Structure 1
Amino acid sequence: MDAQFAGDTSQRRACQSQAHLDELVLFPCARHHGSLGALLRQYSAQMGSSTSPLDKDMIARRLAAVRAELGLSQAALAEQVGLSKRSYIHYERGEREVPTGLVKALYDLHGIDPVWLMSGTDEAPQRARQAGIDFQLVDKVVAALDRELGKVGRKMRPEHRARVMKALYQMGVEQGRISPEIVADVVAVAVARGR
């Protein structure tokens, strides 16, 4: 078995392919954490092979910062998240794109904010505010942003998309809802700034 990410032992034994692994790792996440699984699947679809070397390098630096803050060796963190040491080292060096399963594992095990890991600007690792996340609102933000981007025929780089999603989420929390007008205004500003 060539599984990169481990769940419990029964999941590990049942996993025979990467597609099955994604089903075991990501879809249960959606059951336990609302839309985090959907967010990670969407990130995976967006990133594809378009992650630039600079993005990979920045993500690699954030991975190293997480490991340093946890006080773990590469081998120890790799074991915790169910990776071989060699695979983990490739991610921390920026030689490979970080798979969504690793992002999920760091969130589940250590509360690392997936948005910070993929697009954060702070050097210090950021923890997700699990108790305060309104996953239904996150789903609405993602859907509304996708609709608006489709309407205007635009795409956003992942780090800009993450910033727009964060802004929309914060507005939704403050106003208690997310309206198409707010989404259109935020997207118009982001597009005007060349994002």
Structure 2
Amino acid sequence: MDVYPFAKDKQIFIFELDDVLFPAKDYLLQVYYLFAQFIEYSEQKNAQTILDFMRTEYENYGQEGLFAKTASQFEIAETYQHNFDLLHQNARLPLKLLLYKNMLEFLQNLVLDRRKIVIVTTGNPEQQLNKIRQTEWNGLEKYLIVFFTEELNQTKAEIFQNILNNNNLSNKDALVVGANKVDEHQSKLINLPYIESLKIYK
């Protein structure tokens, strides 16, 4: 795997999902689309206007408090919070989630080299599993091992260490691929090599 010199001596690769393997917004914007359509059907309010508002708020301020802002803006009953939350967990997306091109190529190379691929992801386990099920893996799904931090009630560092122990590997045999300071910090807690996903390219 000469095109990835930083990975040539690693046996196992540990990834997060959101903004590492695919953009988190690709899932959320489809959830917002479905919610806007639901409100149009239920309350006869314009779906496109609602979606445009939600997209702008999300892009400018993130997803925190988005339902409350939208409900206030369009006079949507608070009871719809349940539907909004439920869609995050089990939405049937109009479009499959697509891996970043560089990550798809990287994962394909890892499979060809018979390296182990592990996903350790935070967030609601049901929601994260829903994302995994609706991702276009291009045949890679059968090579994935997945751990949900909230389901295990462990920190990422603890899960990383358990993965090493269960595979009889040392710290130098693994590489964590992340996209934020939390992933980097958790890796450093047990001296695991870490790389930002954006730095992986062909």
On whether the aligned pair clears a TM of 0.5, the verdict is: no
TM-score by length of 2: 0.27
Structure with the higher fraction of residues in strand conformation? 2
Structure with the higher fraction of residues in helix conformation? 1
- Structure with higher Rg: it is 2
